[in-house]
Amino acid sequence: MISLNRFRAYLRVSEAGKIARRLFVMNAFDGILIIMGVVIGAHLSGVTDPNVITTAGIGGSIAMGISGISSAYLAERAERRRDLKKLESAMLTNLEDTHFARASEFATVVVALVNGISPALGAIILILPYFLVPFIDVDSAFYASLSLGLFCLFLLGIFLARISEERILISGLRMILVGLVTIAIVSLVTGI
């Protein structure tokens, strides 16, 4: 088990925190917008069975998670191994059993987990209202899903504003605007 101090040191040395933040926002954003598209498409197609939407949403979430974890792990591992070999060549020494090498492997795992979990989490949040369909109607679940999506986008905007030290409200509204544009375009294209 890795200690908290070592965890922090590995994050700092490998700069995994910065990479993970970027991937978290980009991929949560993707997961939210993708499932928004699925929910809108299902709604406009006349799907009234909430199980169709929850099953598609869960299937998509799992696929996004597996894809995100495996693709990021393989890509990040290749880049970090390349960097380690370059450093070894420059230093004329083997660095495989060093803190730097362990921090590099740690960063690969952290980045891969964030890359996979964030879109899956964003997607799962949007299908939650469909689990309430015995208590609410499908139309209410649809509007609740889109509202949750816009709220999550707003929260991502706040997160970005805190990182960039920009105005929180503007950043949140900018993200909502992207969500609204997505809703409009998907509705126009799939509603025909």
pLDDT greater than 80 at residue 1: no
pLDDT band for 6, please (50, 70, 90 cuts): confident
Whole domain around residue 182: which residue ranges?
Answer: 4-190
Whether the model clears a pTM of 0.95, i.e. scores above it, the answer is no
Lowest mean pLDDT across 30-34, 78-82, 91-95, 110-114: 91-95
Domain count, the chain: 1
Q: Provide the pLDDT for residue 103.
A: 86
Mind listing the pLDDT tens digit for each residue in 36-66? Answer: 999 999 999 999 999 999 999 999 999 999 9
Mind listing the pLDDT tens digit for each residue in 151-190? Answer: 999 999 999 999 999 999 999 999 999 999 999 999 999 8
pLDDT band for 3, please (50, 70, 90 cuts): confident
Mean pLDDT (whole number) for 97-115: 90
Q: Provide the pLDDT for residue 192.
A: 61
**Full 3-state SS string of the chain:** CCCHHHHHHHHHHHCHHHHHHHHHHHHHHHHHHHHHHHHHHHHHCCCCCHHHHHHHHHHHHHHHHHHHHHHHHHHHHHHHHHHHHHHHHHHCCCCCCCHHHHHHHHHHHHHHHHHHHHHHHHHHHHHHHHHHCCCCCHHHHHHHHHHHHHHHHHHHHHHHHHHHCCCHHHHHHHHHHHHHHHHHHHHHHHCC
